[in-house]
Structure 1
Amino acid sequence: MTELDAYSQIVTRVARTVGPHVAALAVRSRRGEGAGSAVVVDSDGLMLTNAHVVHGAESGRVAFADGSESRFSVIGADPLSDLAVARADDAPIDGIELGDADALQVGQLVVAVGNPLGLSGTVTAGVVSALGRSLPARSGGATRLIEDVIQTDAALNPGNSGGALADANGRVVGINTAVAGIGVGLAVPINTTTRRILTALRADGRVRRAYLGLVTAPFPLPDVLARRLAERNQGRAPSRGLRVVEVVAGSPADHAGVRTGDLLLDAGRAPVRDAQGLQKLLFTDAIGVPLPLTVYRNGAMVDVIAVPTELPN
């Protein structure tokens, strides 16, 4: 068996495992009609999709891979993570196994499965291109940040938003969310943080989130800084921080004095290595509470205090 044959067998097996659990959504709201994909995650018809797919809608129609259709209701949505939970009145299949995106590595094979515009079983394959991205999403004049996304070169076809990104074992490790550019796709990871979001959506229909207004990307610490932190921490020092790519104008981070180009080292007196680590601090109990931040700027460590606000729905 050639390497190409082995690759094809993996992709085929994943498509066969994941495809039946990916459905097509048709929604109608005041904005008009829309479409996307969704992933069935339990036997009660609970589905994961993107918040932007169901934005402004309370219900719609869902078509499954076997050709059956049903009505669905939107339970809740979290624009910051671009995740939403919906429930089908009648789902013909049990839920798919969710994996752990924290175990992903750059270069690892992933398969994107969608149901765009009712074309069931649309499959593309590629690799994880980058992890821990934090990117802005602008809609209706407002800026929101999609945190800790997976970047992949698996092509995302129109209508694939809300579909599954799976690993080679057929476990869903992400929900496809957008096309950032030619050859670039993004997915919201399935991990501890997103499971917490999903629990809140399922229970309350919303997630109360604290908001800083930072767009970041993981960045290795300069050698001189790593040595300084190792001396301060008795030999223990993180290998990376978060480079501030953008500070949203008028945001809590902006008011605190964080600048584009800063290297964020600590948040809440604890090291921050990735966007997920920062995101874990920004739930309900962080709203309105001063949050100490330490950044590295022009060869010096600078301490600032930001007061996160509640992200409006």
Structure 2
Amino acid sequence: MSDNGTTPTPATGPQPGAWTPPPAWQPPATPQPAPPHPGAGSHGAVPPGGAYPGAVPPPPAQPPTARGGRWRIGIAGLLAGALIGGGAGAGVVALTDDPAGRGGSTAAAQNVTIKNPETASAVTAAAAKAAPSVVTVYVSGSSGSGSGSGVVLTDDGYVLTNNHVVSLEGNGTATAVSVRTSDGRLYDATVVGAHPISDLAVLRLDGASGLTPATFANSDKVQVGDLAVAIGAPLGLTDTVTDGIVSATGRAVATGSTEGDATVIDALQTDAAINPGNSGGALVNSAGEVVGINTAIASVATGGPGKQEQSGNIGVGFAIPSNTAHRIAKEIIDNGSAKTTYLGVSARTAADDTNPEIGTGAQIVQVEPGTPAADAGLRAGDVVTAVGDRLITTSTELTAAVRSQTPGEQVALTVQRGGDTQQVEVTLGSTDG
């Protein structure tokens, strides 16, 4: 799997589930992105404040060979082995026009408009509404440069993108960031804060005003089969629109080359084409409202040993649900950082005795003292098989299910202990970063 993104939808007035942050918000002093916490346990354990580093950046200015990786579904859950930034990968013709002068490979900005209302489709309408809130993000640093996408949050210049877009694939924070809006305006930008665990970051455009904020939908209401439209700057091609459907909801996805440095998200899956450079943009519904922030794709490893080149879009993409993205973005704007929901255990996947490739739950290896898990009476050896009505078959799924909740929320865990099955009520905690 590989990381990438797309752009969001413009807000044209309050709508159900929409987020319209007060224009009066003033950002705190620009902090450095919070460093990722080390993961605990194996296969997506849920530690108190632990998490997998979620840094994935855009690629260097010259057409790079993206970091290789394989994707697989097994007892470890869904693992994204390669993270994609915004450069052109091997076998792709790179665009060299660089009007920003920032090292990002781009094409000239263009607007998405409805030219013939009589023949316009739902995709046309969604794209026309969302396009004004789509931006292209250019980053550069000592370890390279690249480009990605972003979503406008406020009219005075707050923009949501992926942490991996501004962290140069975990090789360091970008030292120069600029953003081009859909109408061609170019702004210098600063990183307000980042949340590597969820692969999100917020930028502030210097001197911006009159931007068109995106409207965020309630991602809890998204259904499999809903129209999904992705808008962003794949390979630097701004305002690119692709469409498909929501293929799955609540998909536990770990992005990273190994399980130990993975960001675990509770993703929406889509077959809308997502490619390098879409990172940080939006997946929108038929009303042009953001339902997710595109962040990863499944990519089949190609080439011989030691030459694992990503294959690009294969119709399996993943987005951070809008409810999670909205909560974290608002916290970063208000505080410069965001909280991570946690349970307080280390866990591993409980495998079927006859087929070790089949997960049967998340077995608790260790319970940290003074955590929500300890307060609820969970014990080492317990096997969690459900969070609420959501089935849990792997520890990665447990991590994703917990992190998708709001800190302080009470959830019911279905737990197997010995030969008995019982319900355990847990009030989830929160930790920085």
Normalised to the residue count of structure 2, the TM-score between the two structures is 0.53
Q: CA RMSD in A?
A: 3.8
8 A Cα contact 2:234 2:274, kept in partner: no
Identity of aligned residues (%): 39
Cα distance in structure 1, aligned partners of 2:150 and 2:348: 27
Question: Structure 1's 194 and 68: CA in aligned 2 closer, same or farther, altered over 3 A?
Answer: closer
Match of 2:104 in 1: none
Instruction: Output the amino acid matched with 1:170.
Output: G
8 A Cα contact 1:129 1:153, kept in partner: yes
Match of 2:132 in 1: 20
Instruction: Give 1:198 deviation, angstroms.
Output: 1.7
Larger mean Cα displacement after TM superposition, 64-73 or 151-160: 64-73
8 A Cα contact 1:135 1:215, kept in partner: no
Please tell me whether residue 279 in structure 1 is matched to residue 391 in structure 2. no
Runs of 5+ unmatched residues, structure 2: 1-116, 168-172, 300-313, 350-358, 392-397
User: Residues 79-119 of structure 1: CA distance to partner in whole angstroms, max 9, x if unpaired?
Assistant: 22212111112356321211111111001111000123442
User: Residues 25-61 of structure 1: CA distance to partner in whole angstroms, max 9, x if unpaired?
Assistant: 1112343213210011210111111111112225401
8 A Cα contact 1:45 1:88, kept in partner: yes
Residue 162 of structure 1 aligns to a residue whose secondary structure is coil
Match of 2:237 in 1: 119
Cα distance in structure 2, aligned partners of 1:39 and 1:114: 9
Residue 11 of structure 1 aligns to a residue whose secondary structure is helix
Question: Structure 1's 41 and 305: CA in aligned 2 closer, same or farther, altered over 3 A?
Answer: closer
Normalised to the residue count of structure 1, the TM-score between the two structures is 0.72
8 A Cα contact 1:24 1:35, kept in partner: yes
- Residue 148 of structure 1 is aligned with which of 263, 266, 269? 266
- Residue 73 of structure 1 is aligned with which of 167, 190, 195? 190
Instruction: Output the amino acid matched with 2:329.
Output: L
Greater RCO, CA 8 A, separation 6+: 2
**Residues 23-34 of structure 1: matches in 2 within 5 Å?**
23-34=135-146
Number of aligned residue pairs = 270
Residue 120 of structure 1 aligns to a residue whose secondary structure is coil
Question: Structure 1's 281 and 62: CA in aligned 2 closer, same or farther, altered over 3 A?
Answer: closer
Cα distance in structure 2, aligned partners of 1:199 and 1:178: 22
Match of 1:104 in 2: 222
Residue 28 of structure 1 aligns to a residue whose secondary structure is strand
Instruction: Output the amino acid matched with 1:21.
Output: S
Cα distance in structure 1, aligned partners of 2:341 and 2:174: 25
Please tell me whether residue 264 in structure 1 is matched to residue 386 in structure 2. yes
- Residue 287 of structure 2 is aligned with which of 164, 169, 187? 169
Match of 1:208 in 2: 339
Question: Structure 1's 183 and 277: CA in aligned 2 closer, same or farther, altered over 3 A?
Answer: closer
Runs of 5+ unmatched residues, structure 1: 217-242, 266-270
Cα distance in structure 2, aligned partners of 1:248 and 1:151: 28
**Residues 156-235 of structure 1: matches in 2 within 5 Å?**
156-181=274-299, 182-191=314-323, 193-211=324-342, 212=345
More strand by share: 1
Cα distance in structure 2, aligned partners of 1:246 and 1:202: 34
